[in-house]
Copies of this chain bind each other. A is one copy, B any other.
Amino acid sequence: MKSDIPVTSLQRLPVYLNYLKSLTSDGYISSGAIARALGMGEVLVRKDLAFTSAQGRTRVGYLRTELIAALEDYLGCNDKKKAVIFGAGELGKALMSYNGFSNYGIEIVAAFDNDSAKVGTYVGGKPVFDVESATQKLVELNPRLAVLCVPASVAQAVADTVISCNIKKILNFAPVLLHVEDGVIVRNIDVAANLAILSSMI
């Protein structure tokens, strides 16, 4: 069922969730009120929310707590999902220390690096392992997600390792296009490109 949702709709679900969580009043909220608050079209909001199990009631809308629960359920916030980070540089360390992942049920369990000064240390309570031991550790840890914070020059090799250990979902911060087999999903976050895009927008 989830495969029916367009990626653009899926991408908006955390936006609704964050907005609903930011409200303090309980009770009902209409799709129109959500749309106005977020500067979006009401029809679009209603269509997006229809992918979840939330039931809107005519004229009153959604019970806020139920809608939050439906969004959290859809986004898997209550399923525990383990993730690993490759590259314990500044960005990798920032992610290891970030506590916002648990809102989505994601637990960063470890990082891997090739710098012997980093191997054996802990960041945000998580261990940094030698990248040479990645294959063995990934079998033990069995994470579902990998986050690549490595230099562009080694990102493809790291992706190949990760995929060979049966991780099918990769969040890639390296500014390089990863070639992956069918069935593997890559999402890219190129921060510099995002800033350039922003700068080019009028």
Contact = CB atoms under 8 A, between A and B. Distances in A.
A147 to B, nearest CB: 7
B175 A104 contact: no
B18 A104 contact: no
Contacts of A25: none
Nearest to A75: B196
Contacts of A83: 195
Contacts of A37: 177
Given A2-B200, A201-B185, A89 B94 contact: yes
B10 A197 contact: yes
B91 A202 contact: no
Nearest to A104: B196
A91 B92 CA distance: 9
A95 B91 CA distance: 8
A192 B18 CA distance: 12
A2 B202 CA distance: 7
Contacts of A164: none
Contact of A187 (B94, B177, B198): B198
A49 interface: no
Contact of A189 (B95, B189, B196): B189
Given A90-B90, A177-B19, A77 B198 contact: no
A200 B193 CA distance: 25
